[in-house]
Amino acid sequence: MTALVRVVLVDPSHPGNIGSVARAMKNMGLNDLVLVRPKSFPHPDAVALAAGADDVLAAARVTDSLADALADCGFVAGTTSRARSLTWDIETPRDVAARIAALPGESRAALLFGSERYGLQNQELESCQVLVRIPANPAYCSLNLAMSVQLLSYELLLAREQPRSRTEAEAPPAEAGEIEHLYRHLERVLAAVEFEDRTGYLMERLRRLFNRARLDKNEVNLLRGILNAVEGRREREAKRRERAQGGA
């Protein structure tokens, strides 16, 4: 048993593409589809192009928030076809499929796809541990949304069929919702200690640092425990100063 895999489409604009994605997923044994802010869904064009994958469409969940779509996912891979301003870990579909296939069975992974016109924005990619780029003709590397889903899910199907050794992890990967709580906690503590953000990109860089580390649940709890200790120390020091001033 390998990790459960969710396909997440962000801002899909053409309902026919949603149907084609559902068909591609069912071909490769996937059935967990989440749509973030779809322009038109449900829609007859989606049903027509699903071509028998109506059950995948019927079970699809619609949300206005990417955070909600990824909240219970411990590993997120985002697709991209263009260079990014910051350094990212970029892998092939085969590499990412092998990584997902090696996750424990109780884990949930997400394959994240952007809109047909713009792809994923940098802010959306902050939720990803790794980016995926499908090798293609450099002069014409734009792939149809359903084609991209088909290629990644095909590699995942192959990877799942390959026997592999598995390292027993100390704890399951932290879910995206738990990571977001850590980021908010960290941002609050940094503000409290008046840590100077000289670049203007502090939290963005910290997100990338922790995404590369691929934190598990125990590690998130450890980091939040450290942050709680910092907050507790500051509170005790503040009370001590108040008592000292009151006795003066």
Whether omega for the bond prior to residue 44 falls within 30 degrees of 0, making it cis, is: no
Residue 218: other Cβ atoms inside 10 A: 13
Q: What are phi and psi of 172, to 5 degrees?
A: -65, 160
| Structure confidence at residue 248 as a pLDDT band (50, 70, 90) | low
| Paired strand residues for 26 | none
Cβ neighbourhood burial of 191 (10 Å; 0-12, 13-18, 19+): exposed
pTM: 0.73
Residue 187: other Cβ atoms inside 10 A: 14
Pick the CATH number of 176-247 from 1.10.8.590, 3.10.180.10, 3.30.420.130, 3.30.2290.10: 1.10.8.590
pLDDT, mean of residues 96-123: 91
pLDDT, mean of residues 25-38: 96
In 3-state terms, the chain is what percent helix, strand and coil (to 5)? Answer: 50, 15, 35
- At 241 the pLDDT is 84
Contact (CB, 8 A) for 111 and 7: yes
pLDDT at 97 over 60: yes
CATH architecture, range 4-161: 3-Layer(aba) Sandwich (3.40)
* All structural domains of the chain with their residue ranges: 4-161, 176-247
- At 1 the pLDDT is 41
| Structure confidence at residue 96 as a pLDDT band (50, 70, 90) | very high
- At 81 the pLDDT is 80
Q: How is 157-224 classified by DSSP, letter by letter?
A: HHHHHS----PPPSSPBPPHHHHHHHHHHHHHHHHHTT---SSS-HHHHHHHHHHHHT-BHHHHHHHH
- At 84 the pLDDT is 53
